[in-house]
Structure 1
Amino acid sequence: MTIEPETKDWAWVITSSCPECGFDPHTVERADISNRILASVDGWSTVLSQPKVTARPDSQTWSPLEYACHVRDMIAVMTERLDAMLHSQPVCFNDWNQDATAVDSDYGSQVPRTVGDQLSAAAAGFAELYRLVGDDNWERQGLRSDNLVFTVETLAVYAIHDLEHHRVDVGLPARR
């Protein structure tokens, strides 16, 4: 069964707290970004080893496996965007349709252990790229197709919210 596509633009989380998961963008410090990215994957291996990892709790909610695939792919997109922002200016981001990716990649049929390994590796690479951001690069910009401007810093805030929010979706605490 296909889940109703997401229509909400979550960009507001770069300036406002999320009532669903408790994320507060004002708690994201540059010095902690890499550690928060890495910490966000703690617990996923346990979630992915559960017997009902492929079961959807209802017709409108992804299974834990599907959430893990989404988080892995979101990290890949954010890593690509960050890398582009650090290497050229101006940068215009390619659109990413997370719902089409879920269907096209058949998230529900992927191997949980493999997804867990890929998720950990993606987070490690993303965290390392943020660890290498120099002081003079935090205000570099990337432009979404809807003309929303992200900086290197606000991209981190946006991504960390997604990472921590989806932990809650699968029953983990938002932050370790």
Structure 2
Amino acid sequence: MPDDDPRLTDPDPAPIVADTKDWTWVLERPCPECGFVAADVDPAAIGSTVRSLAPRWRAALERPDARVRPEPATWSVVEYAAHVRDVNRIFATRLHAMLATADPVFANWDQDATARADRYDLQEPAAVAAELAVAAAAMADDFDAVRPDQLDRTGRRSNGSRFTVRTLGQYYLHDVVHHLRDIGA
């Protein structure tokens, strides 16, 4: 697709409807959209699972239409990938806090505001692929380093949702898997 395609250079793309759902329910029951079952996730396998999924993100970002939204109010592949890159970074920060501090409260993260402010829609697929690979590898390494005696350490979101290291990993992994489904990868 040519770089002068208006779908790639829109200075103000259609807004994405903010996702206001509290997705923590995925820790209690299977996700009907992607089939993910958090209870089946072995925390010791999170690192290897993340590493196995990373090539699918890279391949999706190599598609010629990776920057094109399938519908005006649906993220493109590059927007989803930029989000997942940032999910890796945010969850790494949260994991580190849980391992270093007793029951930390996580800073609020508005994913929709970040997508707008950082212009996910204008980011280069190759750059996002490289950054996502680095962030996913770091997160995988972080989970590989978690000891069994650390799995029950706790942390809280600013809205009060409570996590253990185990459930934080399960919740995080759902995000990565679910968005692969969103982009058909």
Say what the alpha-carbon RMSD is for the aligned residues.
Answer: 0.9
Q: Say yes or no: does 1:149 pair with 2:162.
A: yes
Within the candidate set 17, 21, 25, 2:38 is matched to: 25
Q: What are the Cα deviations for residues 112-143 of structure 1, in whole angstroms up to 9, with x where unaligned?
A: 11100110110100011111111211000111
**Contact residue 61 and residue 78 of structure 2 kept, 8 A:** yes
Runs of at least 4 residues of structure 1 off by over 3 A? none
Report the residue type matching 1:44 in the other structure: W
Q: Does 1:61 align with 2:43?
A: no
- State how far apart, in whole Å, the 2-side matches of 1:22 and 1:134 are: 28
SS at match of 1:142: strand
Structure whose CA Rg is larger: 2
Q: Aligned equivalents of 2:73 and 2:127: distance in 1? A: 25
Number of residues of Structure 1 aligned to a counterpart in Structure 2: 172
Q: CA deviation at 1:41?
A: 1.5
Contact 2:61/2:126 (8 A) holds in 1: yes
Query: Is the CA contact 2:29–2:37 (under 8 Å) kept in the aligned structure 1?
Result: yes
Give % identity: 41
Structure 1: gaps of 5 or more residues: none
* SS in structure 2 at match of 1:43: helix
Q: Which runs of 5+ in 2 are unaligned?
A: 1-13
- 2:117 corresponds to which of 89, 104, 107: 104
Instruction: Normalising by structure 1, report the TM-score.
Output: 0.95
- State the AA in 1 paired with 2:119: D
Residue 148 of structure 1, CA deviation: 1.1
Q: Which residue number in structure 1 is paired with residue 54 of structure 2? A: 41
Residue 13 of structure 1 deviates from its aligned partner by 0.7
> 3-state DSSP class of the match of 1:165?
helix
Structure 2 partner of 1:131 = 144
Deviations 1:11-55 (A, max 9, x none): 111121001001011220122111112122221111111111111
Rounded to whole Å, the distance in 2 between the matches of 1:70 and 1:35 is 21
Contact 2:43–2:170 (Cα < 8 Å) also in 1: no
Which residue number corresponds to residue 127 of structure 2?
A: 114
